[in-house]
Copies of this chain bind each other. A is one copy, B any other.
Amino acid sequence: MRTTIKDIANYTGFSVTTISLVLNNKADKIPRSTKNKILDAVEELNYHPNQLAVGLVKKRTQTIGLIISDVSNVFFSTLAKGVEDSCRSQGWNLILCNTNDKHERDMSYIQVLANKGIDGILFCMARDSDKKKTEESIQLLKKLKIPFVMIDRYLEEADCSSVIVDHKQGGYAAVKYLLGHGHRKIGCVTGPSGLEDSMERLKGYKKALEEYHISFRDEFIYEGNYDRESGAGAVDFFEGKEISAVFAFNDMSAYGVYNSLKKRGISVPGGMSLIGYDDIFFSEILDVPLTTVKQPIYEMGVESVKQLIDEVESGVGARKCIVFQPALIVRESVGYGPAYDPDVESFKENTFFR
């Protein structure tokens, strides 16, 4: 049997209250001598409070849940690392939940976590969530009165804190960079059209185009699914459209584009310029290191934990929206496009756009 607080009481001759008091640093009025005796006994008997019991009465477990679709996905595992590191450094623990992007699992995990008495949830909603499902999740969270912060998604209606990245800016930066290199016909491999982050990147794309007075063309937009196959599909789709650069909305589909291009004997950046999004660590070590838009995922994990714990401890829903700025990481997959003219000032300026 584990040592309990009673054992310490018996051993020292003091009451459980006294023990509890000194262990919880509420022992202002307890003499050093008593304290020391107790602390010694704790050490000697190797006493560690049963956190289930503590949680039951304190209604706090110093544990949060992380709901994501899939840890084996680099994006999420990086996030999870940030989250876990941040938790540990503050003495908290992390329950990991994978939903495989199924809304029903979001729902069931929220309930399970609540039953376990977690103090808060870091919530990356499943991708299959439409408006109604999203609302359903939020409703549940609220009904259960669980503090939560949404990651990678901001919802006006949600009335909660979120940690997001400015994807419109990311898309804008990528496309502007391409334009600055003389590309005019730029293909896009988007994510699922239902996803806000994809839509935002597209907005960024449009914004950059507008700045250059180039009209938006639907036939340059391929709706992908954030996977490698999407990249291959896009290459087929772009065929014959004289595109000189493609902006893939994540690195995975950029790889798909790259591989598919290679099979057709088209080189990067010689035959086609390519820019990705995410900066997954492999992007750097590819044969043609990928120019891409980096999301500070790890930092987002760290930050979201801070925010969540803050809300838990203060007891107030801060409703704060922390937005991270993505950064363009220039490597070697973008070359100059047909419109490039080294003598034009605007190009010079844009070459080092960041």
Chain A residues within CB distance 8 Å of chain B: 2, 48-53, 55-56, 61, 63, 70-74, 76-78, 80-81, 84-85, 88, 93-98, 105, 111-112, 114-117, 144, 228, 255, 259, 262, 282, 285-287, 298
Contacts and interface: CB of A to CB of B under 8 A. Distances in A.
Contacts of A262: 287
Nearest to A282: B282
Given A76-B77, A77-B77, 9 more contacts: A50-B56, A50-B115, A51-B117, A52-B117, A70-B81, A71-B84, A72-B298, A74-B77, A77-B80
Identical copies in the complex = 2
Judged by DSSP, the binding face of A is helix
Contacts of A117: 50-52
A63 B220 CA distance: 49
17 contacts: A48-B111, A48-B114, A50-B115, A52-B117, A53-B56, A61-B116, A63-B95, A72-B74, A76-B77, A88-B98, A93-B95, A93-B97, A93-B112, A95-B95, A95-B96, A255-B285, A286-B286
B53 A285 contact: no
Contact of A115 (B48, B74, B94): B48
Contact of A116 (B72, B93, B114): B93
A332 to B, nearest CB: 13
